[in-house]
Copies of this chain bind each other. A is one copy, B any other.
Amino acid sequence: MEPEILELESFLPYRLYRLADAVSREFSRIYKDSHGLTRPEWRTLSGLGQRGTMTATELGEQSAMHKTKVSRAVAELERRRWLTRTPDENDRRVEHLTLTKAGLAAYREMVPLAKAFEQALLAKLGADERAAIVKGVLSLEIALGTRQRLSPGECKTVAAKG
């Protein structure tokens, strides 16, 4: 019996990783070149900009980061005076994190760039291909249980699934 070989270039885990890596590397220029942020720092900024105030634990859940990454990213953004910590009144272990004016300004500056990046990426695809990647990614998220929460636009897709 002929020994099996694995074609790496067709292997989905590899392809997914390579794709995500390429996209992420490209996107990182937006926050790295302009402000010297790392990915954890960008995600922290983005999370707080989006939600307003969060604890470090919540940030970790929302942005899928290990707590040490959160801790270090928060420390760096605090050093830049882009966020402040407010002790929780009931539980002194907890700190509520909020962007400062400077942090919010940086966030608001980057949001349009991020959206434009995503649009440009999707614009390279045909309509059916866009639909395919969105549907495929969503279905894998659900299958793996890494789904976080449904965005308005996706509810229809999920509903249509049933």
State how many residues of chain A have any CB contact under 8 Å with chain B.
Answer: 64
Provide the main secondary structure of the chain A interface: helix
A49 within 8 A of B: yes
Stretch at the interface among A69-77, A79-87, A89-97, A114-122: A114-122
Name the B residues within 8 Å of A133 (CB-CB): 12, 132-133, 135-137, 139-140
Q: Is A16 a contact partner of B6 (Cβ separation < 8 A)?
A: no
Which residues of A pack against B, CB within 8 Å? 3-24, 26-27, 43, 46-47, 49-50, 62-64, 108, 111-112, 114-115, 117-118, 121-122, 124-126, 128-129, 131-137, 139-141, 143-144, 146, 148-149, 151, 153-154
